[in-house]
């Protein structure tokens, strides 16, 4: 029996004693969350002075690079030390082979260079996946006959994309495509190119989930995905042991960090991964989770301030090293206000 259970019976033990005031509750709290635990996802769009609201994600906008630069200055002032970038690519640049994904002067590559010049102390996480760049909306290259995603052919493009992002100055490369073997190929290429300090945060357990809907709207892949799904490469939401296997493979191939996606519906997966592997493991509170919370708060069914901090603390309690969340700025304001 665990030592925590060896306590005297009532009235010698009164559990409410340690809940009697906010001061004592803070003193004995097992989990704390701070601004350094928060990572803000940002959507980048072409153009100048662009701020395009995303209807399915209230309060979240697609921003042109000049507006992104302003946003990240504010983000840094709030104590948030990391951002994750995702592109909204013009439809004319989307192709079956996703050539734009590894354009050295592409949207995200340009954004990274300018951000590093403007806010060098903010860590940049760059997504590695082809779905924003393919005309069909899949995360990989399609076989013309079967329509299946070709694993090895996709990896050839992914490594080019990863290299272009690393050379642009990304601190962390985050492959989210779920192709087999892509971490090893990227890591080997980084070693050959001398990119030994570029970190890989592998989306090791990324489930085929209905919670991604608003995100696909944000990056403009929704129309392409009306009649197809990603179940052949993203994980089955019924499986936990498979997630551990995926994580072990990515670590053996050179991943430095792991990421679990979606977030709250998969806290059991997060906790299991944290317990199994001694590596930093992150969680993504995805667009669908954000949209659900916003809808409930907008209808006064939930308290916005309380639900933001409670939901984010649940990730830390499960062992997350950090959380990608669209609530990052809101949470930072709340945390700074409570000091």
Q: Say how far apart CA 233 and CA 211 lie, in whole Å.
A: 16
Q: Give the DSSP letter string of 153-170.
A: HHHHHHHHHHHHHHHHT-
The neighbour count for residue 260, using CB atoms within 10 Å, is: 28
Residue whose C-alpha is closest to residue 180's, from 266, 87, 92, 250: 250
Q: What angle do CA 68, 69, 75 make, to 5 degrees?
A: 85
Counting Cα atoms < 13 Å in the Cβ hemisphere of 258 gives: 30
Q: Give the DSSP letter string of 106-132.
A: SHHHHHHHHHHHH-TTSEEEEEE-STT
First to last CA, the chain: 38
Helix 267-276 vs helix 304-317: crossing angle, to nearest 10: 30
Of 94, 199, 261, 329, catalytic: 261
Kindly state the tokens that stand for 67.
Answer: 């507006």
Q: Catalytic annotation on 206?
A: yes
Q: Catalytic annotation on 261?
A: yes
Q: Say how far apart CA 224 and CA 135 lie, in whole Å.
A: 7
Please give the distance of CA 151 from its chain centroid, rounded to a whole number. Answer: 22
SS3 316: helix
SS3 283: strand
Of 93, 94, 206, 316, catalytic: 206
Question: DSSP assignment, residue 172?
Answer: E
Enzyme catalytic residues = 206, 261
């Amino acid at each position: 029996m665990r030592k925590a259970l060896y306590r005297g019976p009532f009235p010698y033990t009164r559990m409410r004693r340690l809940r009697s005031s906010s001061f004592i509750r803070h003193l004995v709290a097992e989990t704390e969350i701070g601004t350094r635990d928060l990572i803000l996802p940002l959507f980048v769009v072409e153009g100048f002075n662009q701020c395009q609201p995303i209807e399915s994600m209230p309060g979240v906008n697609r921003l042109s690079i000049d507006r992104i630069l302003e946003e990240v200055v504010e983000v840094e002032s709030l104590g948030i030390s990391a951002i994750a970038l995702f592109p909204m690519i013009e439809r004319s640049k989307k192709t079956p082979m996703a050539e734009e994904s590894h354009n050295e002067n592409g949207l995200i590559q340009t954004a990274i260079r300018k951000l590093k010049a403007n806010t060098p102390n903010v860590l940049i996480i760059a997504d590695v996946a082809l779905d924003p760049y393919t005309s069909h909306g899949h995360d990989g290259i399609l076989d013309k006959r079967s329509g299946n995603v070709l694993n090895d052919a996709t990896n050839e493009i992914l490594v080019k994309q990863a290299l272009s992002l690393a050379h642009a100055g990304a601190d962390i490369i985050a492959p989210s495509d779920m192709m087999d073997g892509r971490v090893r190929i990227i890591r080997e290429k980084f070693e050959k190119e001398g990119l030994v300090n570029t970190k890989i945060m592998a989306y090791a357990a990324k489930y085929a989930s209905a919670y991604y809907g608003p995100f696909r709207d944000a990056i403009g892949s929704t129309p392409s995905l009306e009649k197809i799904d990603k179940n052949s490469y993203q994980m089955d939401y019924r499986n936990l042991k498979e997630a551990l296997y995926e994580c072990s493979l990515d670590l053996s191939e050179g991943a430095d960090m792991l990421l679990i996606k979606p977030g709250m519906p998969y806290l059991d997966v997060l906790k299991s991964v944290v317990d199994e592997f001694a590596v930093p493991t992150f969680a993504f509170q995805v667009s669908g989770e954000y949209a659900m919370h916003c809808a409930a708060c907008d209808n006064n069914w939930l308290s916005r301030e309380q639900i933001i901090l409670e939901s984010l603390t649940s990730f830390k309690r499960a062992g997350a090293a950090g959380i990608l969340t669209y609530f990052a700025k809101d949470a930072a304001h709340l945390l700074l206000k409570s000091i």
